[in-house]
Structure 1
Amino acid sequence: MLISLNHIYFILGALIAVVALLSFLDKGNPKRFLTGSFWGLYAVSFLFGNMISPVYMGVLAIAMAVIAGCGGVRMGKHEEAAVETRSDKAKKLGNWLFMPALLIPVITIIGTLGLKDFKVGSLQLLDKANITLVSLGMACVLALVAAMLLTKDKGLQPVKESRRLFDAIGWAAVLPQMLATLGALFAAAGVGQVVSNLVGAAIPVDNKFMVVLAYGVGMALFTMIMGNAFAAFPVMTAGIGLPLVVKMHGGDPAVLAAIGMFSGYCGTLMTPMAANYNIVPAALLDLPDKNGVIKAQVPTALMLLAVNIFLMYFLVF
């Protein structure tokens, strides 16, 4: 194949490696060496993850946790354009500013649905096993090129802006990846069986609605703890979804999986652990309340969760 998920990892790893280098060179950061080391280790996980043994990758993750836990990841010094300059440029570009962001979902859909069987000669263009992720990665690259052409920014300016965002988020930027891995480890360790036993002791499992309620609410709550619905899904599905909803009551696994993930996403809206959804917007918008986004989303999330539970109850059986 021409473009695989590894190519996307290499691009992302190269970006983070440059961010690490800029952090090392930033004399305005009192902990520049620790900050640079944190992002450097993160870059290594993308660049050489498939070449490093799991044991050493675990050591790398622990090293990152130690650096972050000791307060080693700090905000660096950034040069920002004057507010007037940015406002004038924004007015000049108008609604075209939204074009790069809109390109990402459009190109992702085109790649996922239209290019999954496309070949160049005898070679598959995109990795069919990871078609959506590869399409998303390529969409982000093309959107970046479009943004540079639109704004006429050159050189390292996009990388510098990426570093500013990384600094604004801090160590929480790695949470989605770490928590998704943790979810897989929990499932492999048999946490799902423990959850199943606890639920079986707490609710009447012969009641279909109570089982669906436990699964939907459990997905939301575990997502709030883990910060990632993909981390919650294997645990809650192994513990409640498959043994109780599917096997005991004959539920449709496809409906269970789809609406179960939607229920998990409701939890995503209500937790600071989902840094990329809830902390990043607060940082980008310079909100005085870091949890302002979460507080605004909680009512909607609770209503959606209730709708998802009833949808599952009426559709899964």
Structure 2
Amino acid sequence: MLTLEPVYLLLGAFLLFGAVLDYRSRRRAMAVFWAILSLPFLAGDAILAAAREGSHWPAQAMGIGVIALGVMAALGGRRPSDDEAALEHTRRADAVRLGNRLFAPALLIPLVTLLVALAAQYGPPPVRALFEAKQSTLIALGIASVVAFAVAVRVTGAGVGAGLQEGNRLLDALGWAALLPMLLATLGSVFAATGVGDAIASLVAMVIPTDSRIACLLAFALGMVLFTAIMGNAFAAFPVLMAGIGLPLLVQRHGAHPAVLGSIGMLTGYCGTLLTPMAANFNIVPVVLLELPDQYAVIRAQLPTALVLLAVNIALLWLLAF
């Protein structure tokens, strides 16, 4: 059966490879950064097993590592490699030569992910038996990434080593922002487990008339946008707002359809993603990669779209959820 363990091992090996490259290039801080991050991917099962046996020092060591990552991210920026300027002309020439074929590997990732995920969920029993059901989508993404890398090597004519080096260059360009999606993905679960949703429900009941359907709907929609902007990810905001407003007020009191509320409510949260630098993978990373002079250029460009989408989503919730 396919599990996420090979995907984690590949990620850890790639991060460790990047750490070695950075160390050889005398970018010691980046080397330490990626080396620390590679450890939970490579030794996560061992750390979990040690914790179950009563030994807490591996988990404590990883906690210290997380603190170290935060301190390093706060202290310094990325130092470009010495040969970046010299390679820029070569990269531009390759881009002109390859043209639109460069998009093929990137487009393969969502396509292969979708096909593999559908096969894992709805394919013949022998195919479904190959995948761990709860992690089938992430496993599909891992398979798609490997396929896309192989196609990229084929399309560009570069070797595997060159592809890994370019991947490390991109990872160095992203720096600490590469961690943000992983950290934010866990934030919603942490908030929900600590009772933030209940606290929000109490505050909302004090501020708005809970007998008003439209007031509860606006509180839910605008809350999704606000919490997504604060936490940078609608996945982090969704469990908090559903626990605090969606389920007790809209579903149980006003009879909203849970599926409609959940799907459109999540989409409403992504209006906040368009407006926040906390969504670094969407709004800050492109600025870094494109070397734009205004670090908020992407957010400014997305602002009208976010406001229009928010209005449309509120209207859809009102028309379809009740």
In structure 1, what is the Cα distance between the partners aligned to 2:80 and 2:161? Answer: 16
Q: Does 1:75 align with 2:79?
A: yes
TM-score (norm 1): 0.91
In structure 2, what is the Cα distance between the partners aligned to 1:199 and 1:120? Answer: 47
In structure 2, what is the Cα distance between the partners aligned to 1:237 and 1:227? Answer: 17
Q: CA deviation at 1:143?
A: 0.5
1:4 counterpart SS class: coil
Q: Aligned-residue CA RMSD in angstroms?
A: 2.1
Q: What are the Cα deviations for residues 165-194 of structure 1, in whole angstroms up to 9, with x where unaligned?
A: 222222121111112222211111101111
Q: CA deviation at 1:195?
A: 0.8
Query: Is the Cα–Cα contact under 8 Å of residues 13 and 47 in structure 1 kept in the other structure?
Result: yes
Q: CA deviation at 1:52?
A: 1.8
Q: Does 1:146 align with 2:151?
A: yes
1:5 corresponds to: 4
1:40 corresponds to: 35
Identity of counterpart residues, as a percentage? 49
Q: 1:298 aligns with which of 296, 303, 309?
A: 303
In structure 2, what is the Cα distance between the partners aligned to 1:176 and 1:123? Answer: 29
1:187 corresponds to: 192
Q: What are the Cα deviations for residues 124-165 of structure 1, in whole angstroms up to 9, with x where unaligned?
A: 223221222211121111001100111011142222222222
- Structure 2 residue identity aligned to 1:236: L
Show the 5 A alignment for 1:226-265.
226-265=231-270
In structure 2, what is the Cα distance between the partners aligned to 1:111 and 1:155? Answer: 24
Q: CA deviation at 1:117?
A: 5.2
- Structure 2 residue identity aligned to 1:10: L
In structure 2, what is the Cα distance between the partners aligned to 1:17 and 1:293? Answer: 32
1:137 corresponds to: 142
In structure 2, what is the Cα distance between the partners aligned to 1:88 and 1:66? Answer: 39
2:83 counterpart SS class: coil
- Structure 2 residue identity aligned to 1:48: A
2:276 corresponds to: 271
Show the 5 A alignment for 1:167-178.
167-178=172-183
In structure 2, what is the Cα distance between the partners aligned to 1:118 and 1:307? Answer: 36
Q: CA deviation at 1:220?
A: 1.1
Query: Is the Cα–Cα contact under 8 Å of residues 269 and 294 in structure 1 kept in the other structure?
Result: yes
Q: 1:52 aligns with which of 22, 47, 56?
A: 47
Query: Is the Cα–Cα contact under 8 Å of residues 117 and 124 in structure 1 kept in the other structure?
Result: no
Q: CA deviation at 1:294?
A: 1.1
Rate the CA distance shift 1:75–1:242 in 2: closer, same or farther, 3 A: farther
Show the 5 A alignment for 1:110-125.
110-116=115-121, 124-125=129-130
In structure 2, what is the Cα distance between the partners aligned to 1:196 and 1:123? Answer: 40
Q: What are the Cα deviations for residues 200-245 of structure 1, in whole angstroms up to 9, with x where unaligned?
A: 1111111111111111111111111111111111111111111111
Q: What are the Cα deviations for residues 256-290 of structure 1, in whole angstroms up to 9, with x where unaligned?
A: 11111101111111111111111121122221212
2:14 corresponds to: 15
**Bigger Cα displacement from structure 2, 305-314 vs 158-167:** 158-167
Structure 1: runs of 5 or more not aligned = none
TM-score (norm 2): 0.90
In structure 2, what is the Cα distance between the partners aligned to 1:78 and 1:128? Answer: 46
In structure 2, what is the Cα distance between the partners aligned to 1:256 and 1:177? Answer: 26
